[in-house]
Structure 1
Amino acid sequence: MITSVVRQALRTRGAEPAVLCHTGDPTTARRELASLRLRSGDLLVDLDTHRPGDPIEIPGVGGEGEPEAVGLVAVVAASLTDLGRVLTVATALPPTVHLLAAVADTPGHQGPLLPTPPGIDEWNDLLEARVRRLGRRGWVCELFFPNSVETALALDCVVHGTRGGHRGRRVLPLAAVHGREGCLWRPGDIASTGVTATGPVPLRRVSPVADLVLRTDEGTLPAWEDPVVPHLDVPTTSRPRITITEAGEDPHRTGSFDTHTIPPIDERFVNPIGFTKKAGGPMGDLGDHGDRTALSEGRKVLFTVPEHGTVTDLDVGRVRYLRGVRVNWSGQVGPVSMVRAVASLAAAGVPLVSGPVPPWASSLGRPLIDLLTSVEERGLADPLTREEHSVRLRRAALGTHGRAARWSALAAGAGVPTPPEPLVTVMLCTRRPELVGFALAQVVRQRDVRFELVLALHGFSADLPEVRSAVREFSASGIPITVHEAPGDQVFGAVLNDAADRASGTVIAKWDDDDWYGPDHLADMLMARTYSGADVVGITQDLVYLQELDLTVWRSYQTEKPSPDVVGSTIVIDRSVLTDVGGFRPLPRAIDSQLLLAVRRHGGRIYRTHGLGYLLRRAGEGHTWGADMGYFLRRNSRQWSGWRPSALLEGEPRPLGSETVPETTLSVPSAREGRPSTTTTGGHR
């Protein structure tokens, strides 16, 4: 099908030459172009082997007195991951009047290859755009321009359109690369420049185009000659294979590799989106298959891993039905392909189990290594244990091997400063002074996130003893806090807007005063915000504690997917998006649902991530959401007597200020334990 589309484009391109490119699995991408008849001036390019920065020269194009553009550039990719990766190389492609981008296959959750136009006026003269499906899940996008377009920029718009157009924070620092594997290190970055082995880094006006250079090459690299821009050297992925026997590792090859010498994972495509909670599927096996690393189910090979270890979104989609994957470290092992495959599957939330991890795989990082051996295969038969393990794996893998994490570590190693992480404003509005200490204890234990707190006291004073002591203890932690006293007769939506006006963060996280939040709640929300590209991130009511019945129910909704609704007390939204939709409506109730509706009507995307780090408390009355107890009892997959959160909640902290101020208490069982713990209680807002 792709072949016929490209053949038709070749027939209609006029007298100008064509550049046909392929990337990804050659049995898919290269095969689609192999049978085409090309003219003498046409060019066939393997983008996977092209060195970033090396020009792609087309006879009769780009020289003095010659046309600047070609008649057709066609890029055929085996997967979206492959198309995104080679954007770094695509900067060498000439301008074109006809761009054809084709992806042979995509996962089931992926939408069309629909481009998002650039931000100024580069596409004002666009003549025609065509987007169509190829087969069941392939896509092709064609763009026609009368006066040509910058090919890399147009491809970038196509790739980012598949994520809804929200680009998110760029990966810093600005980088230049040398070597054929440069695109593995800066996937999808059209701002990344290829440089020579010795430098210098080119200037744009008076400034270098990069703040750090990464050189990847075989053999000995020459001395770096640019005195302004620092550089780092990393080995290529084609490292010697390692023989592992029952007696242990090959004694002639025992070296391990530093984490930062492994190319990062592109979390825009390899991520938990599409995770399924079904725990009844078969197990898969990751290990040697001939001379390649492969993942198999029985005798069926689901995908093979290239030597450089890149796992694609398509590969992840093929294994979602598995209960889990056993990692087999024995045999003739390609160290980089194996390490990157394990890290990628973990980043996608695929449940992995393993025996002892060999020393040569230490580049996985200690957190991920410990998790691989923490759960046995039989444990994955329990859906809750399986999902908890999946969440821990994705946290460790993306926190160590994601693009942002990798380049932050590289910048630190080279002494290149980078801006701080985004500041999150936790926004908590409460009518109940007796719950302030409980709520602040949930906030203060958040980790691995820069955040502040805006505490809105709705109808009472901060001078109340229980409030004053809790705020004092919170302030002692060093986390910034702003206390706002709102009149009791002010409508709730207006109170939230006043609280948002006092926020300093670029991201706002809503918080409730009586629900339980795990210490990684904020970090999980920001991680999902990064890989989903969504404007709003939140969770659903997976775990609910029914206070009147002293019962915990697990509702096990489908997560890791776009969704029109999330729990209001978990909404994480860019402050700019909140401003653009007009803030919160000045209403006494249904504030959160109205905000989500406004985001959708404004063209924003809402994403639902896992809900295991949160426990909703449901009392008998006083809720702004009117569902009764029967609603939760009818719609659950499992229930337990007493207070029984996920292990990811990590128990319950002591309410702040409780040592100096008497508290109303409720005795509930601690997570995974039978011991009672003390929880502040009160009426629900």
Structure 2
Amino acid sequence: MGTARGTDEDVADTLVARALDGARRPALVLRADAADAAGTPRPTDDGVTTVPPGDLPAAPDGASWRTVVLVADDPADLRRLAPVVTVSGTGWAREVAVVVRRADTPLTWADPSPGPTAPAVRRPERVESVLAHGGTLLTATLDRRGDVGAVLTAVALAAGTTRATTGDPDVGVHNPVGFRRRWTRDHVDLDPRAPLTPALVAGLRDARGVRVPPDADPRTVQGLAMAGVPLVRPGDDDVPDDALAREERSVAQRRTALVAHAHDSGWRAPTVSVLLATRRPAMLGHALAQVARQRLALPGAAIEVVVAPHGWDADETEITAALPRTPYVVRPVAADAPLGAVLQEATDAASGDVLLKLDDDDWYGPDVVTDLLLARRYSGATLVGMPAELVRVVPADATVRRKGPSENFGTLVAGGTMLIGAADLRALGGWRPVPRHVDARLLDDLLAAGGTVYRTHGLGYLLRREADGHTWDPGTDYFLRPDSLLDRWAGFRPPPSVGIVEQAGSTP
């Protein structure tokens, strides 16, 4: 074992040196053996910093990393590490290299088709791939700085055609990306001998539900649940013949399976800073209640709240009472400051690995933070969010469910659900100091820089629309057009996943 491990290290050292030869500095090398016996990272040398994946330092002297190199043991390890590195917020670079210690075939670049199942990734100016010393090295040089996570995800998706059939399912392969809301077949029976493969998942997505026999392979069952395929286990009722109820079951099952996978794999969630900018003192209690009800199921998950009163002074006793076990920061901002500047003040005061923008008047289910963190892990996207799918239209006394895709890569998410790495936001230059369309400007900047946007399900988020008072206001009729709706209910009808408990100020 000692000889094999030494050989692997020699291969990695040789290929990393080749990747760094002539590469731009500062350079960041991510490899699991970066820490010495004392647990300290390898020192910076010649503009190169080497650390374990997921333990990312800032570039020296406030600069950005210009080259990033990821070292993996084999193609399966690469597929596991790519989402971890992306979640950790590597940011942007001009050169990205991937080293695989043990490989039979060279790594390749395969342009993923932008759309529901793959991120849009800028094609590199130059891609070189070699097979040497029993391993492989791919280097990609971009025409300008691009999203490292998106590049790593593209390479990982193209890494090999075989899939492991033992051990934990690969979250980079078996996940809800591509979930289908509509079905063309009724329930189908799962073959108990069926191994878990991408083809099996794809072939079951059009079923209303999948009946799981008692002797089914547990790994296959876990992978199907992670992918969001609605399952009927022994003793369960059939999947309801209702699109919303079917998706509710899928979301609950996938969350359970993905959380279990995170615990079993040793993955730890990034810490979250909730950014709460509000002009309305009367809505502070409502907004804090949405944070307080979050149940953080992922290992390492933790929340802090940055309250940015816009033109008024918040009563900290109210915040403490609402969040007795949650750390918070209060950063008042002058009334004449534009909204973008308010959000930037909150961002500057935040200490979390990732930032979640929360709107003060909407409703958030107790698993919103968990679901966004999960989506960030399995999608590898720079920014994740939920669609504005469920809307409480107060002037019409109605609750609607709007049409639109979910669990897909795209260009738009609801502003009150945007989750982005703190390092990624810094690399973009932060929030633009504008009074309106702040969310749209951030998405524009991110996409122009080569970042990716992923939209997870929208069942845990309920947008509130009043007759006026919104920074983005297309008018009430915009949310009530019959051709844009899946469902419409009279009155206040939050779905089960929002799980609102009646409380003062919560229900209009």
What TM-score does the superposition give when structure 1 sets the normalisation length? 0.54
1:326 aligned partner, one-letter code: R
Q: Is structure 2 residue 454 aligned with structure 1 residue 569?
A: no
Deviations 1:67-88 (A, max 9, x none): xxxxxxxxxxxxxxxx943769
User: Deviation string for 1:554-575 (max 9, x for gaps)?
Assistant: 1142100001011111000001
Relative to structure 1, the CA distance from residue 150 to residue 422 in structure 2 (aligned partners, 3 Å threshold; closer, same or farther) is farther
1:651 partnered with 2:500: yes
Which of 263, 273, 276 pairs up with 2:177?
Answer: 273
Q: Deviations over 1:112-144 (max 9, x none)?
A: 999998xxxxxx9x8xx5xxxxxxxxxxxxx56
* 1:325-368 Cα distance to aligned partner (Å, 9 max, x none): 11122xxx4x6xx1111111000000011224xxxxxxxxxxxx
Contact kept, 8 Å, 1:559 with 1:609, in 2: the verdict is yes
Pick closer, same or farther for the CA change 1:115–1:406 going to 2, 3 Å. farther
Amino acid at match of 1:383: A
The aligned counterpart of 2:168 is 264
Q: Which amino acid aligns with 1:271?
A: N
Give the match for residue 101 of structure 2.
91
Aligned-partner residue type, residue 623 of structure 1: H
> Which of 449, 460, 468 is the matching residue for 1:613?
460
Question: 1: CA distance between counterparts of 2:340 and 2:109?
Answer: 47
What residue number does 1:284 align with? 188
In structure 2, what residue type is equivalent to 1:406?
A: D
Deviation, 1:607, is: 0.3
In 2: Cα distance, 1:586 partner to 1:516 partner: 26
Q: Indicate how the Cα distance of structure 1 residues 343 and 589 shifts in structure 2: closer, same or farther if over 3 A, else same.
A: same
1:144–1:167 CA distance, 2 compared to 1 (3 A): closer
| 1:429 Cα deviation from its structure 2 partner | 0.4
**Residues of 1 paired with 2:114 and 2:426: CA distance?**
34
Q: For 2:204, which of 315, 319, 326 is the aligned residue?
A: 319
| Alpha-carbon offset, residue 53 of structure 1 | 5.1
Q: Secondary structure at the match of 2:188?
A: strand
User: What's 1:165 paired with?
Assistant: 151
For residues 522-554 of structure 1, give each alpha carbon's deviation from its aligned partner in whole angstroms, at most 9, with x where no partner exists.
010000000000000001111000111110001
- Residue 349 of structure 1 is matched in structure 2 by 228
Match for residue 641 of structure 1 among 470, 490, 502 = 490
Q: Kindly report which structure 2 residues correspond to 1:438-453, keeping only aligned pairs within 5 A, or say none.
A: 438-448=286-296, 449-453=301-305
Distance 1:268 1:491, change over 3 A: same
- Write the distance in 1 (CA, Å) between the matches of 2:197 and 2:452: 23
Q: What CA distance in whole angstroms lies between the structure 2 residues aligned with 1:647 and 1:602? A: 38
SS of residue in 2 equivalent to 1:380: coil
1:425 and 2:276 are equivalent in the alignment: no
Take 1:554 and 1:603, find their aligned partners in 2: how far apart are those partners?
A: 31
Q: How many residues align?
A: 403
- CA shift in 2, pair 1:640/1:629, >3 Å: same
Residues 489, 593 of structure 1: alpha-carbon distance in 2 compared, 3 angstrom cutoff: same
Flag the 1:621–1:86 CA change in 2: closer, same or farther, 3 A: closer
Does the Cα contact within 8 Å between 2:210 and 2:231 map onto a contact in 1?
Answer: yes
Q: CA-to-partner distance for each residue in 1:395-446, whole Å, 9 max, x for gaps? A: 011111x2x421329xxxxxxxxxx642100000000001111110111111
Cα distance in 1 for partners of 2:486, 2:427 equals 39
The residue aligned with 1:507 is 354
Q: Is the 8 A contact 2:276 2:308 kept in 1?
A: yes
The answer (yes or no) to whether the contact 1:163–1:533 under 8 Å persists in 2 is yes
Contact 1:539 / 1:567 at 8 angstroms: preserved in 2? Answer: yes
C-alpha contact (below 8 Å) 2:149/2:380 kept by paired residues? yes
Residue number in structure 1 paired with 2:318: 470
Pairing of 1:14-413 with structure 2 (within 5 A): 84-85=75-76, 91-93=101-103, 99=106, 109=116, 143=128, 149=132, 152-154=135-137, 164-165=150-151, 263-288=167-192, 293-294=193-194, 305=195, 311-329=196-214, 333=215, 338-356=217-235, 373=236, 376-377=237-238, 379-400=239-260, 402=261, 404-408=262-266
Unaligned 5+ runs, structure 1: 1-51, 57-61, 63-82, 118-123, 130-142, 169-182, 186-236, 238-262, 295-304, 306-310, 357-372, 410-419, 656-664, 666-677
1:154 match: secondary structure: strand
Q: Deviations over 1:138-171 (max 9, x none)?
A: xxxxx565xx6566443798xxx99722569xxx
Task: Output the CA distance in 2 between the equivalents of 1:144 and 1:408.
Answer: 31
8 Å CA contact retained: 1:112, 1:162: no
CA distance in 2, matches of 1:617, 1:115: 36
**Residue 457 to residue 631, structure 1, CA distance change in 2 (3 Å):** same
- SS of match in other structure, 1:647: coil
Secondary structure at 1:648's aligned position in 2?
coil
- Compare 344-353 and 577-586 and name the one that shifted more: 577-586
**Could you tell me which amino acid in structure 2 is paired with residue 348 of structure 1?**
A
Partner SS state of residue 637, structure 1: strand
AA aligned opposite 2:150: G
The superposition leaves residues 431-464 of structure 1 with CA deviations (integer Å, 9 ceiling, x where unpaired) of 00011111101111111131100000001112xx
Cα distance in structure 1, aligned partners of 2:116 and 2:227: 14
- Corresponding residue for residue 528 of structure 1: 375
Equivalent pair of 1:279/1:382 in contact (CA under 8 Å): no
The C-alpha deviation readout for 1:635-675, integer Å capped at 9, x for no partner, is 211111111111011123635xxxxxxxxx5xxxxxxxxxx
Instruction: Quickly say closer, same or farther: Cα 1:437–1:558, change in 2 above 3 A.
Output: same
Q: Deviations over 1:298-350 (max 9, x none)?
A: xxxxxxx1xxxxx2333222222111111122xxx4x6xx1111111000000
Does the CA-based 8 Å contact 1:90-1:151 persist in structure 2?
no
State which structure, 1 or 2, has the greater radius of gyration over its C-alpha atoms: 1
Is the 2:356–2:418 contact (alpha carbons within 8 Å) kept by the matching residues of 1? yes
3-state secondary structure, aligned to 2:307: strand
Helix, strand or coil for the counterpart of 1:473? helix
Q: How far apart are the structure 1 equivalents of 2:287 and 2:120?
A: 44
Query: Percent identity of the aligned residues?
Result: 38
Q: Secondary structure at the residue paired with 2:355?
A: strand
SS for the counterpart of 1:428 is strand
Determine the C-alpha separation between the residues in 2 that align with 1:429 and 1:317.
Answer: 42
The structure with higher relative contact order (CA 8 Å, sep 6+) is 2
Question: Where does residue 27 of structure 1 map in the other structure?
Answer: none
> Secondary structure at 1:268's aligned position in 2?
coil
Q: Which sits farther off after the overlay, 387-396 or 83-92? A: 83-92
Task: Work out the CA distance in 2 between the residues paired with 1:113 and 1:570.
Answer: 21
SS class of match (1:485): coil
* Residues 106, 547 of structure 1: alpha-carbon distance in 2 compared, 3 angstrom cutoff: closer
Using the alignment, how far apart are the partners of 1:85 and 1:539 within structure 2?
29
Contact 1:560 1:610 in 2 (8 A): yes
State which of 587, 591, 595 in structure 1 corresponds to 2:438: 591
TM-score by length of 2: 0.71
Task: Tell me if structure 2 keeps the 8 A contact 1:279–1:386.
Answer: no
Q: Cα gap change, 1:166/1:519 in structure 2, threshold over 3 Å: closer, same or farther?
A: farther
Cα contact 2:436–2:471 (8 A) shared by 1: yes
Structure (1 or 2) with the greater helix fraction: 2
